[in-house]
Amino acid sequence: MSSFDPVTIGIVSVSDRASSGVYEDKGLPALQDWLTRALKNPVRFEPRLIPDEQARISATLIELVDAGCALVLTTGGTGPALRDVTPEATLAVAHKEMPGFGEQMRQISLRFVPTAILSRQCAVIRDKSLIINLPGQPKSIQETLEGLKDASGASIVNGIFAAVPYCVDLIGGPYLETRDEVCKAFRPKSAIRPTT
């Protein structure tokens, strides 16, 4: 029996073509793989593969929050193309905006491509759930969650996930514990649970 709090995480891949079977979705496996490596908690995933339709995305996010997901991560649909409506759908269900997540994701991606400024990823809180829009490519998903490290493994730029566990604490969610070799979570000393 694990001493770590169990957590339910919603993972949503937004893609017209993958959801209609034109090509294989790579977003959901990338999210599940990274989260399984990063978290010590027992995780139950609620995966969804849906088309780029604003009402459908919003309804899916509400459904996952209502189902008890402390964290919901989306991938895809965050660019400037006409069908990219994930940020609009996310903001439509928000109780609070968390702009720092989007700012940091763009800072990380700008180290690789100048077109990172076209990304409109955002993060919001709905009830007791944190919802974050991530990029669409598996490599970019990992970079934005994990951050960038040098050849020795020392952190160059923090990934956004370093702030996720404390954010989830503050909104009344489970105590998320990360594996430092993947992503070291940051909490103020007063918020760190003693290990037994």
What integer pLDDT is reported at residue 19 of this predicted model? 87
14 and 141 in contact (C-beta within 8 Å)? no
This prediction has a pTM of 0.96
Per residue in 14-72, pLDDT tens?
Answer: 998 888 888 899 999 999 999 999 999 999 999 999 999 999 999 999 999 999 999 99
CA atoms of 92 and 94, how far apart (whole Å): 6
All structural domains of the chain = 7-191 (3.40.980.10)
Per residue in 125-159, pLDDT tens?
Answer: 999 999 999 999 999 999 999 999 888 878 888 99
**Amino acid type, 190:** S
Q: How far is CA 102 from CA 49, 55, 93, 123, in A?
A: 22, 22, 17, 7
Per residue in 89-116, pLDDT tens?
Answer: 999 999 999 999 999 999 999 999 999 9
In which band, very low, low, confident or very high, does the pLDDT at 196 lie, cut at 50, 70 and 90?
A: low
